[in-house]
């Protein structure tokens, strides 16, 4: 019975994750974000094309649609065994990320899942997320490529999740490690065009404010 509920919650998580906030918010500004910039519906493309406020709004909405389902499941199943609650929450979080990346409302096209994944990991593995954010910040600061920073952060996730229990900072949860590996692979796959653009020096690079003023 519990896993029937889990499957239903997974479907709900997918539908919630499928809500294309980037498309909807940009559309409210009269822009079809799929036809502009990189064509991605994520926060970065919205920020570049539409502006800072809508870009931040997209990030928050995409982040929350990963975080809130996980927190809701952990709360609903708080009377169950900890491992069971975490496993089902991981399932729902994974479904939300799938929904974002392959939205049923956009003919199974979508974003790249970084913001939504961050929300899921905050709910399930906050220390792992903190390490990945540090990697993201370091790579972005040195290269100014959002996509490259996102790829390196995604690659760091399973490594950090694997290492934390070795140092006694978290408990070993195999399903969370598997989830980290799967999301890492998915993130790299979704960024393959960006990596190719970086190789050919076609990728958009965020300029530092001083650089932009001097250019």
pLDDT tens sequence across 90-113: 999 999 999 999 999 999 999 999
* Residue spans of the chain under pLDDT 70: 1-2, 208-215
Model pLDDT, residue 173:
87
Model pLDDT, residue 9:
84
How many CA atoms, within 13 angstroms, populate the side-chain half-sphere of residue 39? Answer: 7
**H helix runs in 77-173, sequence order:** 82-101, 114-124, 126-143, 146-163
Q: What is the pLDDT of residues 51-79, one digit of tens each?
A: 999 999 999 999 999 999 999 989 988 87
Model pLDDT, residue 214:
44
Model pLDDT, residue 6:
76
Model pLDDT, residue 213:
45
Burial class (CB in 10 A: 0-12, 13-18, 19+), 188: middle
Model pLDDT, residue 203:
87
User: Is residue 159 helix, strand or coil?
Assistant: helix
């Amino acid at each position: 019975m519990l896993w029937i509920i889990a499957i239903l919650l997974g479907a709900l998580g997918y539908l919630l994750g499928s809500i294309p906030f980037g498309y909807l918010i940009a559309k409210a500004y009269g822009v079809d974000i799929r036809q502009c910039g990189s064509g991605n519906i994520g926060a970065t493309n919205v920020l570049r094309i539409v502006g800072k406020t809508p870009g931040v709004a997209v990030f928050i909405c995409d982040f929350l649609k990963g975080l809130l389902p996980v927190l809701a499941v952990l709360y609903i199943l708080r009377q169950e065994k900890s491992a069971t609650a975490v496993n089902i929450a991981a399932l729902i979080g994974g479904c939300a990320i799938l929904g974002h990346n392959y939205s049923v409302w956009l003919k199974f096209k979508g974003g790249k899942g970084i913001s939504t994944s961050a929300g899921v990991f905050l709910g399930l593995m906050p220390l792992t997320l903190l390490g990945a954010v540090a990697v993201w910040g370091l790579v972005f600061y040195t290269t100014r490529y959002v996509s490259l920073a996102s790829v390196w952060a995604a690659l760091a996730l399973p490594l950090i999740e694997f290492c934390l229990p070795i140092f006694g900072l978290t408990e070993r949860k195999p399903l969370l490690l598997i989830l980290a590996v799967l999301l890492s692979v998915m993130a790299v796959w979704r960024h393959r065009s960006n990596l190719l653009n970086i190789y050919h020096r076609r990728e958009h690079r965020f300029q530092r404010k001083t650089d932009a003023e001097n250019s």
